[in-house]
């Protein structure tokens, strides 16, 4: 169970690193515009806001990596950051796009459940 929880947490961390790259570096490119369904005018006008958003995703990835590096002692750190991922995903789904619920909140919730189950199963 610990290995599965760690793999799920690592996958969520990697997703957030990908979000960082999309939002900070690719937002105003054809790939970024296609990913987010943006016009060139909107992506250019909102580039700074997207970079800020990407930075926050990087902090989530860093926190999850920190929790993973702590191993079993990192349960509280992983729980906190996965909880943040879920809350951010639910908020994003409610305010921006329902797709965020499935792309961000659901993977975070699955990883969080696995982390909590692994902690419960610990000797």
Residue range 83-95, pLDDT digits in tens: 999 999 999 999 9
Distances, alpha carbon 33 to alpha carbons 9, 48, 92, 100, in Å: 28, 14, 18, 16
Angle ∠(106,9,84) on CA atoms, nearest 5 = 60
Query: Hey, which bits of the chain come out as E strands?
Result: none
pLDDT band at 117 (very low <50, low <70, confident <90, very high): very high
Angle ∠(73,74,77) on CA atoms, nearest 5 = 145
pLDDT at 122: 72
Q: Which percentage of the chain shows pLDDT scores above 70?
A: 99
Q: How far apart are CA 16 and CA 10, in angstroms?
A: 10
Tell me what the pLDDT averaged over the chain comes to.
96
Q: What pLDDT, in 10s, does the model give residues 11-38?
A: 999 999 999 999 999 999 999 999 999 9
pLDDT at 7: 98
Q: What pLDDT, in 10s, does the model give residues 27-84?
A: 999 999 999 999 999 999 999 999 999 999 999 999 999 999 999 899 999 999 999 9
Q: Is the pLDDT of residue 123 over 70?
A: no
Output DSSP code: residue 37: T
Please say whether the beta carbons of 85 and 108 come within 8 A. yes
Please say whether the beta carbons of 6 and 75 come within 8 A. no
Q: Is the pLDDT of residue 6 over 90?
A: yes
């Amino acid at each position: 169970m610990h290995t599965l929880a760690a793999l799920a947490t690592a996958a969520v961390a990697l997703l957030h690193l990908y979000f960082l790259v999309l939002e900070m570096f690719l937002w105003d490119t054809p790939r970024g515009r296609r990913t987010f369904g943006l016009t060139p005018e909107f992506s250019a006008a909102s580039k700074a806001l997207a970079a800020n958003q990407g930075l926050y995703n990087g902090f989530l990835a860093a926190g999850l990596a920190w929790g993973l590096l702590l191993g079993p002692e990192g349960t509280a750190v992983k729980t906190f950051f996965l909880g943040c991922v879920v809350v951010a995903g639910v908020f994003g789904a409610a305010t921006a796009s329902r797709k965020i619920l499935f792309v961000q909140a659901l993977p975070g919730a699955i990883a969080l459940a696995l982390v909590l189950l692994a902690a419960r199963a610990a000797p």
